[in-house]
Amino acid sequence: MATFVLVHGAWHGGWCWARVAPRLREAGHDVFTPTMTGFGERSHQLAPDVGLEINITDIGNVLLWEDLTEVILVAASYAGMVTTCVADRMPNRISALVYQNAFIAADGVAQNDLLPDWRREMIEKELAEAEDAWIMPAPDPKLFGVTDPVELEWIGSKMAPQSAKTFQDKARVSGAHAAITNRTYIRATGYPNNTFDRYLAEAQADPAWRAEVLDTSHDAMITAADDIVRIFLEVAATA
């Protein structure tokens, strides 16, 4: 039995793992799908000072208070900034890292620094036009490559605004997470992002990494749940 902690990305919440978590539990694994401060059912906690460090604490506290060890820590998108920092601070609690179209935190680097130019410029324009300049409005899920009308409606109804500080804060990473050698990068190609392409190429060139390519949207846990479950179960078999 493995222990999964599945961490959602920007504008999402723990709800996004609804097609994955039950199947992992059916296979006998423990699964946690925490929602970080300011997102999903915790959107009432959204505030200007909610940033990367608060979200790192959110996930670190799950591992701490639930007494979790040998964790398979999974990140979607923005969550890679969070989980990399958690792994750097708590490497002894983590057996494997999985990144699904996720950013990989580096010391002194913010997520804004890792966005492709077109996406960063879009967000800057939205913030400039917003009534509250610290709030990033949720994009249309079509931007992520979601095409099914039912999925578009469901995802769109769940996505919520996010504090700009989460993207602006620079990560603090010491390198301790390098001790975790079981690593997987999943590239969902339906969302164009040259940073993700670079991570994929690096993973493919490094025998310490496993690399997977899925022809699906950025929300692969929803639009390609079968593949995501398969990959996660394979990671569990090696963790």
Which residues are the active-site residues?
77
DSSP 16-48: GGTTTHHHHHHTT-EEE----TTSGGGGGG--T
Residues in the chain: 239
Tokens for 22?
Answer: 């039950």
Hey, is 14 helix, strand or coil?
A: helix
Tokens for 102?
Answer: 């996720």
Residues 218/77, Cβ–Cβ less than 8 Å: yes
The amino acid at 76? A
Do β-strands 3-7 and 30-32 pair in parallel, antiparallel, or remain unpaired?
parallel
Hey, is 117 helix, strand or coil?
A: helix
What are the angstrom distances between the C-alpha of 120 and each of 73, 117, 127?
27, 5, 11
The neighbouring-strand residues paired with 98 are 74, 184
The amino acid at 157? S
CA gap 175, 151 in Å, rounded: 38
CA gap 157, 152 in Å, rounded: 8
Residues 100/220, Cβ–Cβ less than 8 Å: yes
